[in-house]
Amino acid sequence: MSGPNTNYDPVQVSALDEASVFDMRDAALAAINAAIDLAGLKEVRSSHVGDRSPLALANREIGALPPQARKDAGSRVGRARAAVAQAFEARQAVLEDEAQERMLLEERVDVTLPWDRHPMGARHPITMLSEKIADVFVGMGWEIAEGPLVEAEWLNFDALNLGPDHPARTMQDTFWVDPPEDHLVLRTHTSPVQARTMLTRKPPIYVACPGRVFRTDEYDATHSPVFHQVEGLVIDKGISMAHLRGALDHMLQALFGEGMRTRFRPSYFPFTEPSAEMDMVCFICHGSGQQDEGECRTCRGEGWIELGGCGIVNPRVLIACGVDPEVYSGFAFGFGIDRLLMFRHGVADMRDIFEGDIRFATPFGVEL
C-alpha cells in the first residue's frame, strides 16, 4: 500500500507560474532600460517596481498557496523582484550621472568673465539730433531760445494771428489744460517761442528753439501725440525769403552733407505771409527718385522730403509782439525733428523713437 503523496500540491495560482513571473520581470526590465530620464524612470517605478506593480501584486498571492508551491513561487517571485530592483537602481545611477553632467554643462559659469562692467546707457537720438541742429545755428551766431511746455493760449494762438475760429484751435488738435478759465494749453508747436522772444528782446533777433510739442494726434507710424519741433526766427532789417532759404540750405548741408537743397511750395500759415512748405532734396537719391534701378524707398520716388513750414513773419504778428513792421521784417520756420530723425537714420516707425527701448537708442552711439 502506498503512503500519502506529500509532494502533491493541487492548488495553483496562474499569476505565479514560471512563465507569468518571467513575463512580468522582463516587462519591468524593458521599461527600466527604455527610461531616458529620471522623470521617465519615476513612472516606471510606480508601474513596475512599487507596491502596485504586477510582481508586488503576485507576491501577495503567495500566501494562498500550499506549502510546497508557496516555497517555489516565493523564490521565483523574490528572484524576479530582486532582478528588477537591481536593474532599477543601476539605471537610476546612470540617469542621475547624466542629469548631473547635463546640469554642469548648461549652468556653467565662466568665472573668468569680467563682473564689474555695467551696461552703458545711451543718450536718446532725439536729444542728440536736437543738439546737433542747435549747434548748427549757434555756429551761425544764433541763440537758442526756450519756452514752457504748458503755454498761454494767447501766445500759442492769438499772438500768432491764429484767430479763435482757426481749425488748429479746436479740441481735435489741442490738449487744453484745466481749468478752462486759465486759458492754458500744452503747446501745439514751438511757434509761441517766436512771440515770447519778440516780446522780451529787441531786434535784431536770431534764435532757434528745439523742443517738445503736443497734439491730440493718433499714435501711429508717422504721428505721435508728443513730438519735437525746431523753430527758427530771424527779425532784422531787410530780411527776405532769400535769407530764409540760405539759412535752411546751410542747416541741411550741415546735417546731411554737401549738395542738400530746399524747395518751397506755396502754403498757408496764419503767422507767416507768404508761407511755404519746405522740402529738402532726398539725401539718398539726390532728387532723381531712383534707387538701385527702382523707386527710391526714402522719398518714395518723389526726389523730395517734406520737412515743415516757413515764411516771412506776418506783420500782424510783429505788431502783436511789439515789433515795428515798417522797420523790421523777418522769417520763421518750424519742422519736425522726429520725422527728420526717421529720414536721416532710416527709422521706419515713429513709435520706435518713443518706446524708450535701449536697444533702439544704443546703435546711435554716444555723442557728447
Residues that bind ligand FA5 (CB under 6 A): 189, 191, 215, 217, 223-224, 227, 229, 231, 269, 271-272, 308-311, 332-336, 338-339
Q: How far is the CB of 311 from ligand FA5 (least distance, A)?
A: 5
Q: For residue 133, which phi and psi values (nearest 5 degrees)?
A: -65, -45
Q: How far is the CB of 109 from ligand FA5 (least distance, A)?
A: 47
Q: How far is the CB of 288 from ligand FA5 (least distance, A)?
A: 23
Contacts (Cβ under 8 Å, ≥6 apart) of 177: 150, 184, 185, 186
Nearer to ligand FA5, 153 or 231 (CB): 231
Can you read off the three cell numbers belonging to residue 219?
Answer: 499714435
Three-state SS for 22?
helix
Gap between the Cα atoms of 273 and 146, Å rounded: 24
* Tally of CB atoms within 10 A around 301: 15
Task: Tell me if 230 sits within 8 A of 344, measured CB to CB.
Answer: no
Nearer to ligand FA5, 125 or 311 (CB): 311
Gap between the Cα atoms of 220 and 72, Å rounded: 84
Instruction: Please compute, for residue 97, the number of CA atoms within 13 A of its CA located in the half-sphere on the CB side.
Output: 6
Nearer to ligand FA5, 15 or 213 (CB): 213
Q: How far is the CB of 131 from ligand FA5 (least distance, A)?
A: 19
Q: How far is the CB of 225 from ligand FA5 (least distance, A)?
A: 7
Q: How far is the CB of 228 from ligand FA5 (least distance, A)?
A: 8
Can you read off the three cell numbers belonging to residue 85?
Answer: 530592483
Nearer to ligand FA5, 35 or 160 (CB): 160
* Tally of CB atoms within 10 A around 341: 21
Nearer to ligand FA5, 303 or 309 (CB): 309
> Which 3-state string (H, E, C) describes 153-180?
HHHHCHHHCCCCCCHHHCCCCCCEECCH
Query: Residues for the chain: how many in total?
Result: 368
Q: How far is the CB of 120 from ligand FA5 (least distance, A)?
A: 29
Gap between the Cα atoms of 112 and 223, Å rounded: 48
Nearer to ligand FA5, 22 or 268 (CB): 268
Nearer to ligand FA5, 54 or 232 (CB): 232
Q: How far is the CB of 211 from ligand FA5 (least distance, A)?
A: 12
Nearer to ligand FA5, 48 or 196 (CB): 196
**Residue number closest to ligand FA5, CB atom:** 336
Nearer to ligand FA5, 31 or 155 (CB): 155
Gap between the Cα atoms of 135 and 126, Å rounded: 14
Give the type of residue at 361. A
Q: How far is the CB of 148 from ligand FA5 (least distance, A)?
A: 16
CA distances from 4 to 7, 12, 49, 71 (A): 9, 20, 41, 20
Task: Tell me if 267 sits within 8 A of 309, measured CB to CB.
Answer: yes
